[in-house]
Amino acid sequence: MSAKTINNIYILGLGALGGMYASKLQEVNPDNVKIIADTKRIEAYGKTELIINSKKHNFQYVSPGSQVPYADLIIVTVKYTVLQQAIQDLQSFVGPDTIIISLLNGIGSEELIGKTIGMEHLIHAYAVGMDAVREGTILTYANMGRIVFGEKTNGASSVNVTALKELFDRTGIPYMNPANIERAMWSKFMLNVGINQASAILRSSYQAFQSPSPARELLVMAAREVVQISQQCGIDLTENDINDCLKIVETLSPIGKTSMLQDIEAGRKTEVDTFAGTVIEMGKTYCIPTPVNETFYRIIRFMEDSNS
């Protein structure tokens, strides 16, 4: 198995998550980190500076179809609502050896990207434990969290996995490489279904969920519906997994906000279809009641309509 080194890194999505990782990678690879964006967005970015933890950052931007070297690594950090466009935007940057990691919430973005780009480029991954918040051009975070990744064929290693480990070691990005990435991704999905939706409905920061409270109970009620579905899918999450998720929440900045709460506050469409919508549909498939997520879905849809 020959070694592989990641140098050219392209990031698609410059929200809280994309901005945080772009700034960290830029510290080590200033000339090799580029942001993929359309020309209109690049023009808007050029008029402002992104300030990350009080430090100004200027990034290099490339538009879809630009004649630039293929990416060694593409990190996708957009929302599910624009994923189909993102897939089109990244195609021209994919070469034979390009690795793609999708840090989208949910449990299906890799397969959607792989249908067009090819699954051989995908390493399953997600980000967890970060508390980044972006408001306008100001991005702040106290905890970077970690990127969790691995081959879907559980327990397998590969040249691409080894290359990602080397990159993250070199750049100081925390990571985990679990033996069962599919189960780990379901655990993250469960956490998002609980914390993102409950925080958006209650308009509450992480502090509301960091100790026993009605808010925390609401999170757990939604998460339990994911546990029940997982047990019919062969993933077999348990109450212990919920407790592990609560421990992650307890490590976050009390004033931090979930991405869904940030969307509600900014008047943007949320990922409620990715969370409650997915739980509801899978509940129907396996004949499992999902009353909490059905309620979440209706409330958040109402909030979106009120914003618009």
- Residue 29 clears pLDDT 90, i.e. is over it: no
Residue 100's DSSP bridge partners are 74, 122
- Beta-strand pair 138-140/9-12: unpaired
Per residue in 290-308, pLDDT (tens digit) is 999 999 999 999 999 998 7
Are 275 and 305 in contact, with CB atoms under 8 Å apart? no
- Residue 88 clears pLDDT 60, i.e. is over it: yes
Are 132 and 43 in contact, with CB atoms under 8 Å apart? no
Are 144 and 24 in contact, with CB atoms under 8 Å apart? yes
Per residue in 71-85, pLDDT (tens digit) is 999 999 998 889 999
All structural domains of the chain: 9-179 (3.40.50.720), 182-307 (1.10.1040.10)
Per residue in 201-217, pLDDT (tens digit) is 999 999 999 999 999 99
- Residue 58 clears pLDDT 60, i.e. is over it: yes
Q: Give mean pLDDT, residues 154-164.
A: 84
Residue 71's DSSP bridge partners are 94
pTM of structure? 0.88
Question: What pLDDT band is residue 156 in, cutting at 50, 70 and 90?
Answer: low
